[in-house]
Structure 1
Amino acid sequence: MKPVSPPVRQYAIMQWLYVDFPFLQLDHFIHELAEDKHAALVVFCPVNNEILQVSGTAASAGIQRGMGLAQASALQSSIQLLPYSFESENRLLTLLASQLYQIASDIVLLAPQGLAIKLDPIIHYYQSVGNFVALFHHTLQQTGLRYHFATGPTVETAQALAKGKVDTIYETNAQAICALQSASLAVTALSEKHITQFNRMGIRSLHAVFQIPLEELGKRFDNTLISYVLALKGNKHTPRPVFHPSQRFQYQCELPFELEDSTRLLRFLTHPVEQCCAFLKSHNLTTDSLVLMLHLADSPQQQINIRSGAPLHNAQDWLSLLSLKLEQIELTSPLRGFQLCCDNTVVFHATSDHLFAERFSKHAENMLMGALLAKLGQNAVQRPKVRADHRADLQVPFSKDKEENSKAVIPQGQQPCWLISPPRPLTDSTRIIYGPERLQTGWWDNYPVKRDYFIATNAKGQRLWVFRDHDSQWFVHGYFS
């Protein structure tokens, strides 16, 4: 008898997946900026004198969220404080949403530490919730952030479950609502005033709140609370603006300590540059310039422009150019932070050809030009161009712009590779072995030329390219190799 395969377990469609990042600022600092990742670190709010986020080392010493600074210092004398910044967490949350936007479209930000993903539109694309959740975890694990998650029929339901640290993908909406019954009021978005009112009524869980008829709630509370309770039950959907990623890359960072040596900044630029290049690749873009704004302690902001020889979107290439640029920067005062921007972007066009075609890769040339521009500056680097002109002096002019060389062809003839500019008078004794070739042109552009060119040899055996002008004066214009 042929064995029957067990049925594949399928998840029912959930509406929302909520992700809570309770240690967003601290985890980002540890993962990207901290020199000692095992130090006792806490995020501290000086306004309320309250510890908001605690690292693993600090938690091992007994420090907990909600403690005051004096109590935390008594438990751990070597504690390191990070001042809490709502703006910093909001920027980090936006960056996270931009990364998740590559795998999900409908994202709602709930600043400063949470976001919700609408699952309905992407279930058919991933074929099941489980497939999407696996990719979702893989994406977030690369960030080094701690998070909690849950699903539910509304954002409010999923948010309360995630803040309760259930970390569960529920198969049905009924299971999510059932799990929410036992949750405490502390995990909800209820105000402290409302929680106090419920506690006075002897109500400390959502199960008890759900048992109260809406008419009774309306007598004691305002319409805002009633709407929120209906949303928790899954009976009301609150309209929320959907996140749309920016079309330009911008990254801002406050350094953990002041820097007096600009070259030490490269360590802190590695991750932002990698994120910038990932942004470019995801949008099929590339760029030839980055802007680095330096936030100094006692001086105005200093703007640094980094230019490459051609558009690039590889992180290692940009980091090499940044390393060269930082070597030249002299800080007028200690560096406290920076901002990295990428504004000038163009669409990336991949080039390919058949196997036996003659191909010339411009990558080495572009990297050389980028290194020269970063080291010497835009005004110190010139590029040769090609012009279809019989006058050797004008065939390869130099220019500071970055336009591609034209497809002009240099006229063929007996012409050496090494030219002397300007030509110098012929003083050596020579013997003519070829010529003459008459060149008479340029009467239309104020650079008329009338010359007879010859190939000659001198006593050293060198082959010279010489000419006689209209005044019968002889000049050397180049040497043959």
Structure 2
Amino acid sequence: MLWACLQLPHLALDAVLRRVEDPHHPLALVTGPAQLRSLFAVNDAAAEAGLKPGMRLTAAHALCAQVALHEHDPKAQAHSHRFLAAWAYRHSSLVSRQWPGAIVLEASASFRLFGPWPRFEKRLREDLDALGFHHRIALAPTPRAALVFAMLRDGFALSSAEGLPGTLDRVPVRRAALPGDVGERLHRMGVRTLKDLRELPRDGLRRRFGIELLEHLDRLYGDADDPLEYYQPPDHFDARVEMGYEVESHQALLFPLRRLVRDLAVYLSSRDGGVQRFTMRLEHEEGHTDVPVGMLAAERDATLLMDIARNRLEQASIEKPVVGLRLLAKELPPFVPAARDLFDTRPSQAVPWPQLRERLRARLGDDAVYRIAPSGDPRPERAWRRASVDDDAACAMDAPVRPPRPTWLLPHPVPLRQHARIVSGPERLESGWWDGDDVRRDYYVLETLHGQRAWAFADPGKRDGWMLHGWFA
């Protein structure tokens, strides 16, 4: 087995930068009690202004007055860690977030699907860049070795188990992820590398540093199994973005909504599932407003979900300022992709009908999009009725076999003023005696002087006084 480690050196900071519209503006995370506020992390723009982690807040304001300050939230950091574990689950069935700030996944089983390690590594980096997370990646025969190599050198890959001991022996003890402060204590004792450490008596190491050190070394070198805590994706999606200020317009909510929808699409892809209903919760200082989003079939395309969510949001009224946006999806049915031919002749910009239908329903309203179903009445103006877009039974109803009908039926018959010749007919329709709207008509297909084909009727037995009822395409 080969394990890939994705180290996330700026996880807390990246979790905040993903939510701001201008990540290049000076920004810092603040922590500590009210009297001793200090910087927890800074972005590149703030670092160029002289700010650095650990600096007192008063000194940071003196150096860069325009820096944007955000409270460091360990819960938000843990949420981002779980989200990345869900993303990694789409690439491997064995994913662990056992170590803070790192994701470990078994990679060798995925080579058959994603290609050899260089191609697989490139895919991982592209996804992480698109998600907005800084990262360091390494590959090794054991998960702990991959963790150590990722902290030492980005891009390092060791696929041979035979070469693992010799490579690890050169690792400094302070960079070997040893338990607690053992690495620093060993360095002060004159033990510089893991080779020096392994040459020491195990009994003495156990008495001085505990059994955890020996277990770590055995699992690091592959001499013992490493029982990892594997990630299992939850059965629902729940993500939230705190605005930091009061929002009273739909436009200001689109940026955080787009980020939440993209995270939802990543989560659905990792589960190989879809979503049919979810809720946008607009949080106020007191209470919240729920904006439901429903579709006729399960979907997971980020662009489609964003279009539908945006249209639903724009139709909702914001009666009170919004201070937080939350996305909830509890019903996650299986996703069945649309079947397409191998040599699909559809234009590249064409939208499949199910996605177009959902966009129209979201923009125009649920009642504005419907299907036409036969009603069984022979009178043309009553032969069809509206049916729901998901009412397959009504639309599949067997209709009587009749001569061709025009594609454009007029709301009401009007006199035909043009001269026309008879192409076919007559077809007599006599019905409606039971409801007081009795009709007796002889229908003909006529062709005008301009070549148009009309559908018109006259009184039974007559061939004049044409009443136009429709046009053929």
CA distance in 2: counterparts of 1:246 and 1:392, whole angstroms: 54
Taking the TM superposition and a 5 Å limit, the aligned residue runs for 1:240-251 are 240-245=228-233, 251=239
Task: Give the 3-state SS of the residue equivalent to 2:207 in structure 1.
Answer: helix
Query: In structure 2, which of residues 367, 389, 396 is the aligned counterpart of residue 406 of structure 1?
Result: 396
Q: In the alignment, is the contact (CA less than 8 A) between 2:373 and 2:386 conserved in 1?
A: yes
List aligned pairs for 1:173-252, cutoff 5 A.
Answer: 173-180=164-171, 182-184=172-174, 188=177, 190-192=179-181, 209-245=197-233, 251-252=239-240
The residue type equivalent to 2:325 in the other structure is G
d(CA) in 2 for partners of 1:91, 1:105: 20
Determine the C-alpha separation between the residues in 1 that align with 2:370 and 2:338: 25
The aligned residue for residue 419 of structure 2 is none
Match of 1:426 in 2: none
Q: Deviations over 1:87-129 (max 9, x none)?
A: 3233323333343344434221135421112345446777854
Residue number in structure 2 paired with 1:321 = 308
**Partner secondary structure for residue 453 of structure 1:** strand
Deviation at 1:330, TM superposition (A): 1.9
Decide which of 135, 139, 145 is 1:147's aligned counterpart. 135
1:67 aligns with 2:55: yes
Q: Tell me if structure 2 keeps the 8 A contact 1:308–1:371.
A: no
**Matches of 2:436 and 2:178, distance apart in 1:** 84
- Alignment correspondent of 2:281: 294
Structure 1 stretch displaced more, 54-63 or 150-159: 150-159
Alignment partners' CA distance in 2, 1:394 and 1:212: 94
**Aligned counterparts of 1:111 and 1:253: Cα–Cα separation in 2:** 25
CA distance in 2, matches of 1:63, 1:293: 37
Partner of 2:20: 34
Identical aligned pairs, as a percentage? 19
Maintained 8 Å contact 1:387/1:408: no
Cα 1:118–1:321 change in 2 (3 A) is: closer
Q: State the Cα deviation string for residues 200-238 of structure 1 (Å, max 9, x = none).
A: 756676565444322112222333343234334443332
Q: Specify the alignment match of 2:94 in structure 1.
A: 106
Going from structure 1 to structure 2, the CA distance change for 1:217 and 1:65 (only over 3 Å counts) comes to same
Listed as ranges, the gaps of 5+ residues in structure 1 are 1-13, 424-432, 457-461, 469-476
**Could you tell me how far apart the structure 2 residues matched to 1:398 and 1:24 are?**
53
The one-letter amino acid paired with 1:178 is: D
1:437 pairs with 2:437: no
Partner of 2:450: none
- The DSSP-based 3-state class of the residue aligned with 1:327 is helix
* Paired residues of 2:28 and 2:69 also in contact (CA < 8 A): yes
Structure 1 distance, partners of 2:269, 2:22, is: 32
Asked if 1 retains the 8 angstrom alpha-carbon contact of 2:265 and 2:302, the reply is yes
Structure 2 CA distance for aligned equivalents of residues 235 and 353 of structure 1: 49
Q: What residue is the counterpart of 2:416 in the other structure?
A: none
Match of 2:322 among 334, 356, 373: 334
CA gap 1:335/1:222 in 2 versus in 1, 3 angstroms? same
Partner of 1:429: none
How much does 1:291 deviate? 1.9
For residues 91 and 189 of structure 1, do their structure 2 counterparts lie closer, same or farther at Cα, with a shift above 3 Å needed?
farther
Name stretches of at least 5 consecutive residues in structure 2 with no aligned partner.
414-421, 445-453, 461-466
Alignment of 1:344-355 (within 5 A): 344-352=333-341
Cα deviation code 1:76-97 (max 9, x no counterpart): 3322222223332333233333
Q: Deviations over 1:152-182 (max 9, x none)?
A: 44333332343345652236202431232x2
Question: When the two structures are aligned, how many residues end up with a matched partner?
Answer: 438
CA distance in 2, matches of 1:285, 1:216: 53
Is the Cα contact below 8 Å between 2:98 and 2:229 reproduced in 1? no
Out of 18-27 and 119-128, give the one that drifted further.
119-128
SS at match of 2:51: coil
The match for 1:53 is: 41
Distance change (3 Å), C-alpha of 1:412 and 1:231: same
Cα displacement (A) at 1:63: 2.6
Q: Distance in 2 between matches of 1:352 and 1:122?
A: 27
In structure 1, the residue corresponding to 2:97 is in which secondary structure?
Answer: strand
| Change in CA separation of 1:281 and 1:129 when aligned onto 2, cut-off 3 Å | closer
Distance 1:415 1:480 in 2: 8
Name the amino acid aligned to 1:42. A
Q: In the aligned structure 2, how far is the partner of 1:15 from the partner of 1:415?
A: 66
**Matched residues in 2 for 1:129 and 1:436: separation?**
72
SS at match of 1:338: strand
User: How much does 1:243 deviate?
Assistant: 2.9
What is the one-letter code of the residue matched to 1:176? T
Indicate the SS of the match to 1:33: coil
Aligned to 1:390: 378
Residues 9-43 of structure 1, C-alpha deviation per residue, up to 9 Å, x if partnerless? xxxxx74332210112322433x332222222222
Do the aligned partners of 2:31 and 2:72 also contact (CA within 8 Å) in 1? yes
Secondary structure at the aligned position of 1:408 is classed as: coil
Q: Which amino acid aligns with 1:83?
A: E
Q: Secondary structure at the match of 1:115?
A: strand
CA-based RMSD: 4.5
Displacement after TM superposition at 1:239 (Å) = 0.4
Could you say what secondary structure the match of 1:397 adopts?
strand
Q: Give the alignment's TM-score, normalised by structure 1.
A: 0.72
Given the two structures, how large is their TM-score scaled by the length of structure 2?
A: 0.73
